[in-house]
Amino acid sequence: MTVGMPLPERMRPDDLADFSGQGHLVESLHSLMQTSRLPSLLLFGPPGCGKSTLALMLAKSAGKQYLRLSAPEAGLQHLRRSLTGTEILVLDELHRFSKAQQDFFLPLVESGDLTLLATTTENPSFSVTRQLLSRLHVLRLRPLGRSELVQLARRGAENIQVQLPDDVLDLLAGVSQGDARTLLNLVEYVAALPREQLALESVKAVLPEMLARHDKDGDSHYELASALIKSIRGSDPDAALYYLACLLEGGEEPRFICRRLILSASEDIGLADRNALPLAVACQQAVEFVGMPECFIPLAETVVYLALAHKSNSAYAAYLNAAREVKLNGVRPVPLHLRNPSTQLQKEWGYGKNYQYPHNYPNSWVKQPYLPTELTGRRFYQPRDNGEEPRLSQWWRKMHQIKDFDILT
């Protein structure tokens, strides 16, 4: 064994008989290892369930030239250079590739020139293109069970020649949440403690903060995303960049971040800077086109811009005011002059009568009611004095002779 190799790597099995968990796939895996031609596969499951280990076992069992790469570290140019002479590619974190990058594999897999053994923690229905997914057999892996984790923890302790109490092994199995990699890292951490600290309560007291690791399906996922948006809202580019880095380096899906930035540009910046929303949408397009790892560049640019931009939530607040009215009092009848008279009978009922076409008047504006009669004079929109919004609302105020004290929320 390599000196200093982490315990999860030392414990990575080469034989299916030594593999922990995934009993529902054992028969299928045996069949795949005995087949004359290994099909392209997608192994889908949570972190630390053995996806990469199984992919490597299958690649080795085929007896062909194979290569292992991680999507965040491999751009298309690197892939083209690396695949020369490679028959099987073990690709970790396929979901980190953009659609364009995933399309690169289509002709290779279709022709049989390359067998792709890919892994993903993201639902492939959303993270993998339909074209590529149709060419892959999907194996779904499950988190390891508590008893499986306890057995693995005991084997890990034996590997480093340390005996840990059963209650400590059970504790580590519980906090690992089905993740074998986290479990073995914790076993290695606890095994290095002084002997007098190996009792259950002592171990609980010294467990590292790594237990609060970023989990895309857990609280940390939403806490970091919330901190990013609130830092942008608070105009702190340094904090916003920090939380962006926490999300990306923790394995967050860039598309998720793009969605949050688009919402932030609409809710928190809004009319104060009309470039914010187009930039956020352009960022989403750039991320799809560029993919990982380089897409952190447009993401960082957008995060800094949004943090520095003037802020206004007036449009967001105005909608909530209007929605509150609808929820409390229902939908009011549309004034007759605003209704489109599609039939002669509707004309007789007064639909469209006395409607004044604004473009027939100076400045394309004419004073006439638009709200339902019961809401005449009601104001839902309250302009803010930030950024571009004063200029945008100036004409509206003038034409409607609106003063600050006229605006109701």
Q: Are residues 26 and 102 in the same domain?
A: yes
Q: Are residues 196 and 279 in the same domain?
A: no
Domain count, the chain: 4
CATH number assigned to the domain comprising residue 81: 3.40.50.300
Q: What is the pTM of this model?
A: 0.53
Q: Residue-wise pLDDT tens for the chain (409 aa)?
A: 445 688 888 888 888 887 888 888 888 888 888 888 889 999 998 888 889 999 999 998 888 889 998 887 777 788 888 888 889 999 999 988 888 889 999 999 988 889 999 999 888 888 899 999 999 999 999 888 888 899 999 999 888 888 888 988 888 888 887 888 888 988 988 888 888 778 888 887 777 644 544 444 444 567 888 899 999 999 999 999 999 998 887 778 898 899 999 999 999 999 999 999 999 999 999 999 988 788 999 999 999 999 999 999 999 999 999 999 988 888 899 999 989 988 889 888 999 999 989 899 888 888 888 889 898 888 888 888 888 888 888 877 777 776 554 544 3
Q: Are residues 234 and 299 in the same domain?
A: yes
- Predicted confidence at residue 405, as pLDDT, reads 44
- CA dist 277 and 288 (Å) reads 17
Q: Are residues 58 and 130 in the same domain?
A: yes
Q: What does the DSSP assignment read for 201-269? A: HHHHHH--GGGG---TTSHHHHHHHHHHHHHHHTT-HHHHHHHHHHHHHTT--HHHHHHHHHHHIIIII
- Predicted confidence at residue 404, as pLDDT, reads 53
Q: Are residues 244 and 291 in the same domain?
A: yes
Cα distances (Å, whole numbers) of residue 382 to 66, 144, 321, 368:
63, 54, 10, 20
In terms of residue numbers, what domain contains 296? 219-308
Give the rounded distance of the alpha carbon of 55 from its chain centre. 24
- Predicted confidence at residue 207, as pLDDT, reads 74
- CA dist 239 and 128 (Å) reads 32
**b/e string for 298-324 if b means 16 or more Cβ within 10 A?**
bbbebbbbbbebbbbbbbebbeebeee
In a domain, 264, yes or no: yes
- CA dist 360 and 215 (Å) reads 59
Q: Are residues 55 and 110 in the same domain?
A: yes
- CA dist 8 and 52 (Å) reads 12
- Predicted confidence at residue 227, as pLDDT, reads 92
Task: Report the C-alpha dihedral over residues 334, 336, 340, 343, rounded to 10 degrees.
Answer: 130
- Predicted confidence at residue 403, as pLDDT, reads 56
* Cβ(246)–Cβ(254) below 8 Å: no
In a domain, 375, yes or no: yes
- Predicted confidence at residue 402, as pLDDT, reads 64
- CA dist 124 and 141 (Å) reads 13
- CA dist 50 and 119 (Å) reads 10
